[in-house]
């Protein structure tokens, strides 16, 4: 019989006889705990990203105080991205005898590329989502602008030298900002009317923006091309540059949840190690009997490895499924905090589940199973004969390496992981009264999660802020 | 039907182990020849070296000195995997503590050596072996659902299912009551006779030993004497 088939048969028979129950239960707890959190944070991260993109009205936004070359548009169209342009400036608008300062935004078709405009036919009217922009000769004014002018839709206003009809109330635009220039009420007009207003003249405080959107990979590929072509005075923003506080908090929360679930993984890993030890002790006689019947050492080892791999795959998939179910419960418990419908989860948590199952089985069960495989066949006659003992510390080292690999996979930040390991050691030293630092020094982990990171850590966490 | 061909031969076989008291000799220059189809009982007091000799003859352990041939192949010149391959094709075992695998049913236990050897139709062959020991109705039962006698019958079926050249038995009736033991002895010798297997068994059971062609008495790691049972007319074939 070939080894994979025999390994599968033995695994099925062990499962049926309940020999793997404890091992499988510990594995499922570990994988489902991690993937449950991973599914939730994945969906929440996607929601944050989508919201961030809406605040740009695009995936990428190019800004300049000088007209932007059309070369960028052609480059974007070649790569399959959609585009739009915004030209904005402050100006005074007139409605009969009334006038007020407003922020004029002349937009092209397609604006906004992310998110939607919300308009109503008149002040305090029913609000609708629209995919249109003002038609030529028309303008949409924010409620504050209408209130300042004391008019409603249907009124003709003067914008520079152009006369435009207020056709809708602009209740919401996704790229509404909180900066000083956004304090002025908005007047949205069609880009085709911009020239007739005569507002764009030398010395005008005009800001030109070009918007780009598309699927993530295309945008990621396009961004460096665009950056390479930028001229002086042109700046590029993407979703990473928006809402840094929210993103930073979200990432820290995700890391905290991951680390918290790692505690459950660590406990489950200990259970796995104990279950594997029990399993290997119980199966030494079996290995001896199989060797008596002619099974070679390599066949036993390969069979054990394959069984472990099959167990990891089955445990990883089933644990991920349980994690998927569990994350719905978590999302329900946190529904008031989340406050919106989350996007569908990606495949990353399932990959994490499989990786977790493989890593903790390799780190915590493999050493004992490999040792079990070395059981001498003579054990069938002399029960006191044991396999050669594991070399000193192999189990411990394998377990530490497994946890380190898992941490690196989840946190994706070598420096932070090493800091956490160092911090944990520091905390242990602190709690045992053997602190090496100056008196009154806070343990690293406490400081990290309290948000009072030392400079080096702040730099790590603040990488997303760079380039803003 | 016996032939004069030796299926198992040991030459100046010694086994020494290191103990806190120094070097301990468990087997001391044992010579032995066993013919194909012969049944040999190894008897002696505890610590005489019976099980050590059995383990060496079966290739489960390596001697400190001496050589062993099984079917004219020197197993003392083979590595562990080589000895395992030889066992797969030519050796069967019956143990005092049965050594059935607890997670396998009776049928699966009998199938295991066939599966390890890569045999086709392992299930059918194993079922026939179970029928031979009268346990086909218990094929789906796990070892903990079988009595001691039934476990040993399954073990005998497992040992004979691969048609071994040599069957090694270590105290096959040691864990059984007298009546069950007699049944097992009858079964063992019936199947041995049917399959012309060479039988080498270690036992304290005089009734069992007296059913063999030869009895080797061991003491202090040496074969002190050889005995032919009263009703046996087989010639003595001892090397030394």
- pLDDT the model gives residue A218: 87
Coil/strand/helix, residue B193 = helix
Cα Rg of chain A, angstroms: 31
Once rounded to an integer, what is the mean pLDDT over residues B45-65? 92
Angle, helix A244-282 to helix A348-364, in steps of 10 degrees: 40
Cα distances (angstroms) measured from residue B165 to each of A154, A446, B90? 107, 71, 5
Once rounded to an integer, what is the mean pLDDT over residues B110-119? 90
Q: Label residue A333 exposed, middle or buried (CB < 10 Å: 0-12, 13-18, 19+).
A: exposed
Is the pLDDT at A459 greater than 70? The verdict is no
Q: Label residue A75 exposed, middle or buried (CB < 10 Å: 0-12, 13-18, 19+).
A: middle
> What are the pLDDT digits (tens) for A292-311?
999 988 888 888 888 889 99
- pLDDT the model gives residue A422: 67
As given in the structure block, the two tokens for residue B88 are 């797969």
- pLDDT the model gives residue A26: 87
Q: Is B17 on the interface with A (CB under 8 A)?
A: no
Q: Which residues of B are less than 8 Å from A19 in CB distance?
A: 103
Once rounded to an integer, what is the mean pLDDT over residues B200-213? 89
Of residues A204 and B164, the one with the higher pLDDT is B164
Is the pLDDT at B155 greater than 60? The verdict is yes
Q: Which of B89, B91, B101 sits opposite A286 (nearest CB)?
A: B101
Taking CB atoms within 8 Å and a gap of at least 24, the contacts of B231-237 are B234/B2, B234/B38, B237/B33, B237/B34, B237/B35
Q: Which residue has the tokens 């050596």?
A: B113
- pLDDT the model gives residue A248: 67
Q: B229: how many CB neighbours lie within 10 A of its CB? A: 16
Once rounded to an integer, what is the mean pLDDT over residues B227-238? 56
Confidence of residue A465 (pLDDT cuts 50, 70, 90): very low
Once rounded to an integer, what is the mean pLDDT over residues B63-85? 92
Strand partners, B67: B11
As given in the structure block, the two tokens for residue A4 are 């994979």
> What are the pLDDT digits (tens) for A53-67?
777 888 889 999 888
- pLDDT the model gives residue A438: 46
* CA nearest to A143, candidates A119, A120, A123: A123
With a pLDDT cut of 90, the percent of chain B lying above it is 60
* Contact between B103 and A17 using a beta-carbon 8 Å cutoff: yes
Confidence of residue A323 (pLDDT cuts 50, 70, 90): very high
Q: Which residue has the tokens 């303008």?
A: A139
Is the pLDDT at A71 greater than 90? The verdict is no
- pLDDT the model gives residue A115: 86
* CA nearest to B183, candidates B213, B147, B215, B158: B147
The answer, yes or no, to whether the previous bond of A112 is cis (omega within 30 of 0) is: yes
Q: Are A184 and A103 in contact (CB under 8 A)?
A: yes
Q: Is A297 on the interface with B (CB under 8 A)?
A: yes
Q: Are A231 and A384 in contact (CB under 8 A)?
A: no
Is the pLDDT at A260 greater than 80? The verdict is no
The mean pLDDT of chain A is 80
* Contact between B99 and A17 using a beta-carbon 8 Å cutoff: no
As given in the structure block, the two tokens for residue B64 are 């400190």
Q: Which residues of B are less than 8 Å from A2 in CB distance?
A: 118
Our CA-based measurement puts residue B210 at a distance from the nearest CA of chain A, in whole angstroms, of 23
Confidence of residue B238 (pLDDT cuts 50, 70, 90): very low
Is the pLDDT at A75 greater than 90? The verdict is no
Is the pLDDT at A455 greater than 50? The verdict is no
Confidence of residue A340 (pLDDT cuts 50, 70, 90): low
Once rounded to an integer, what is the mean pLDDT over residues B65-69? 95
> What are the pLDDT digits (tens) for A2-18?
788 888 888 888 888 88
Of residues A451 and A358, the one with the higher pLDDT is A358
Confidence of residue A434 (pLDDT cuts 50, 70, 90): very low
- Where is average pLDDT lowest: A238-242, A432-436, B102-106? A432-436
Query: Quick one: residue A190, left, alpha or beta (phi over 0 = left, psi -120 to 50 = alpha)?
Result: beta
| Chain B stretch 172-231, residues whose beta carbon is closer than 8 A to a beta carbon of chain A | none
Of residues A330 and A86, the one with the higher pLDDT is A86
Distance separating alpha carbons of residues A39 and A178, to the nearest angstrom: 32
Q: Which residues of B are less than 8 Å from A377 in CB distance?
A: 60, 84
With a pLDDT cut of 90, the percent of chain A lying above it is 23
Confidence of residue B58 (pLDDT cuts 50, 70, 90): very high
Q: Which residues of A are less than 8 Å from B115 in CB distance?
A: 1, 6, 9
Confidence of residue B207 (pLDDT cuts 50, 70, 90): confident
With a pLDDT cut of 70, the percent of chain A lying above it is 81
Q: Which of A289, A297, A378 sits opposite B61 (nearest CB)?
A: A378
Once rounded to an integer, what is the mean pLDDT over residues B162-170? 92
Is the pLDDT at A45 greater than 80? The verdict is no
- pLDDT the model gives residue A467: 36
- Where is average pLDDT lowest: A173-177, A435-439, B35-39, B86-90? A435-439
* CA nearest to B77, candidates B92, B59, B55: B59
* Contact between B84 and A286 using a beta-carbon 8 Å cutoff: no
Coil/strand/helix, residue B115 = helix
Once rounded to an integer, what is the mean pLDDT over residues B7-19? 92
Cα distances (angstroms) measured from residue B116 to each of A209, A307, B62, B79? 73, 16, 23, 19
Once rounded to an integer, what is the mean pLDDT over residues A275-300? 87
Query: ipTM of the assembly?
Result: 0.88
- pTM over 0.95? The answer is no
- pLDDT the model gives residue A181: 59
The H-or-E segment that residue B14 falls in is strand B6-19
Confidence of residue A392 (pLDDT cuts 50, 70, 90): low
Written in H, E and C, the secondary structure of chain A is CCHHHHHHHHHHHHHHCCCCHHHHHHHHHHHHHHHHHHHHHHHHHHHHHHHHHHHHCCCEEEEECCCCCCHHHHHHHHHCCEEEEEEEEEEEEEECCEEEEEEEEEECCCCCCCCCEEEECCCCCCCEEECCCCCCCEEEECHHHHHHHCCCCCCEEEECCEEEEEEEEEEECCCCCCCHHHHCCEEEEEHHHHHHHCCCCCCCCCEEEEEEECCHHHHHHHHHHHHHHCCCCCEEEEHHHCCHHHHHHHHHHHHHHHHHHHHHHHHHHHHHHHHHHHHHHHCHHHHHHHHHCCCCHHHHHHHHHHHHHHHHHHHHHHHHHHHHHHHHHHHHHCHHHHCCCCCCCCCHHHHHHHHHHHHHHHHHCHHHHHHHHCCCHHHHCCCCCCCCCCCCCHHHHHHHHHHHHHHHHHHCCHHHHHHHHHHHHHHHHHHCCCCCCCCCCCCHHHHHHCCCCCHHHHHHHHHHHCCC
- Where is average pLDDT lowest: A22-36, A83-97, A130-144, A248-262? A248-262
| Chain B stretch 89-128, residues whose beta carbon is closer than 8 A to a beta carbon of chain A | 89, 91, 93, 95, 97, 99, 101-104, 108, 112-113, 115-119, 122
Confidence of residue B182 (pLDDT cuts 50, 70, 90): confident
Confidence of residue A246 (pLDDT cuts 50, 70, 90): low
Once rounded to an integer, what is the mean pLDDT over residues B37-58? 92
Counted across chains A and B, CB pairs separated by less than 8 A come out at 84
Is the pLDDT at B232 greater than 80? The verdict is no
Tell me the backbone φ, ψ of residue B4, rounded to 5 degrees. Answer: -90, 0
Distance separating alpha carbons of residues A191 and B143, to the nearest angstrom: 86
Confidence of residue A360 (pLDDT cuts 50, 70, 90): confident
Of residues B152 and A332, the one with the higher pLDDT is B152
């Amino acid at each position: 019989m070939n080894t994979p088939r025999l390994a599968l048969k033995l695994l099925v028979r062990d499962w049926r006889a309940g020999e793997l129950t404890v091992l499988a239960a510990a594995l499922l707890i570990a994988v489902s705990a991690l993937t449950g959190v991973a599914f939730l944070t994945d969906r929440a991260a996607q929601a944050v990203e989508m919201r961030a993109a809406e605040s740009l009205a695009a995936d990428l936004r190019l800004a300049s105080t000088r007209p932007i070359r059309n070369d960028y548009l052609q480059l974007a169209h070649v790569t399959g991205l959609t585009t739009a342009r915004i030209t904005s400036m402050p100006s005074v608008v007139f409605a009969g005898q009334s006038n007020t300062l407003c922020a004029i935004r002349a937009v092209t078709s397609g604006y906004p590329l992310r998110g939607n405009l919300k308009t109503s036919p008149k002040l305090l009217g029913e609000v609708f989502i629209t995919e249109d922009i003002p038609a030529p000769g028309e303008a949409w004014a924010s409620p504050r602008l209408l209130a300042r002018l004391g008019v409603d839709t249907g009124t003709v206003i003067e914008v520079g030298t152009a006369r435009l009809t207020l056709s809708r109330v602009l209740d919401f635009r996704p790229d509404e900002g909180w900066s000083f220039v956004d304090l002025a009420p908005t007047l949205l007009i069609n880009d085709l009317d911009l020239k007739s207003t005569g507002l764009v003249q030398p010395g005008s405080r005009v800001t030109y923006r070009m918007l780009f959107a598309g699927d993530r990979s295309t945008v990621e590929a396009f961004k460096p091309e665009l950056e390479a072509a930028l001229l002086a005075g042109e700046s590029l923003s993407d979703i990473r540059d928006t809402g840094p506080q929210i993103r930073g908090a979200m990432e820290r929360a995700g890391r905290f949840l991951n680390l918290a679930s790692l505690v459950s993984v660590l406990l489950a890993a200990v259970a796995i190690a104990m279950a594997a030890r029990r399993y290997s002790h119980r199966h030494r006689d079996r290995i001896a009997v199989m060797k008596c019947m002619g099974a070679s050492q390599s066949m036993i080892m390969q069979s054990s490895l394959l069984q472990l791999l099959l167990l990891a795959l089955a445990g990883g998939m089933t644990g991920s499924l349980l994690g998927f179910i569990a994350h719905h419960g978590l999302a329900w418990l946190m529904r008031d905090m989340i406050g919106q419908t989350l996007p569908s989860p990606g495949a990353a948590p399932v990959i994490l589940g499989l990786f977790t199952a493989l890593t903790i089985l390799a780190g915590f069960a493999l050493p004992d199973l490999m040792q079990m495989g070395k059981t001498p066949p003579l054990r069938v006659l002399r029960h006191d004969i044991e396999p050669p003992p594991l070399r000193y510390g192999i189990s411990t080292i394998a377990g530490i390496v497994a946890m380190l690999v898992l941490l690196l996979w989840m946190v994706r930040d070598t420096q932070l992981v090493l800091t956490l390991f160092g911090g944990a050691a520091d905390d242990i030293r602190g709690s045992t009264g053997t602190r090496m630092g100056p008196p009154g020094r806070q343990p690293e982990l406490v400081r990290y999660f309290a948000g009072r990171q030392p400079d080096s850590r702040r730099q790590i966490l603040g990488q997303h802020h760079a380039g803003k | 039907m016996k032939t004069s061909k030796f299926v198992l031969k040991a030459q100046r076989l010694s086994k020494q182990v290191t103990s806190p008291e120094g070097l301990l000799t468990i087997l001391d220059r044992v010579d032995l020849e066993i013919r194909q189809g012969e049944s040999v009982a190894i008897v002696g007091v505890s610590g005489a070296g019976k099980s050590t000799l059995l383990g060496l003859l079966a290739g489960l352990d390596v001697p400190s000195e001496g050589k062993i041939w099984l079917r004219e192949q020197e197993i003392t010149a083979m590595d562990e995997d080589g000895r395992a391959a030889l066992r797969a094709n030519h050796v069967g075992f019956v143990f005092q503590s049965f050594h059935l695998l607890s997670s396998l049913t009776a049928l699966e236990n009998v199938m295991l050596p066939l599966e390890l050897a890569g045999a086709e139709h392992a299930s059918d062959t194993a079922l026939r072996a179970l029928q031979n020991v009268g346990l086909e109705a218990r094929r789906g039962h796990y070892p903990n659902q079988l009595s001691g006698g039934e476990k040993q019958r399954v073990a005998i079926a497992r040992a004979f299912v691969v048609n071994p050249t040599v069957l090694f038995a270590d105290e096959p009736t040691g864990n059984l009551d007298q009546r069950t033991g007699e049944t097992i002895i009858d079964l063992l010798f019936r199947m041995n006779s049917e399959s012309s297997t060479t039988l080498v068994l270690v036992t304290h059971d005089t009734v069992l030993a007296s059913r063999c062609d030869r009895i080797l008495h061991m003491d202090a790691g040496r074969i002190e004497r050889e005995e032919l049972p009263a009703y046996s007319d087989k010639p003595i074939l001892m090397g030394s």
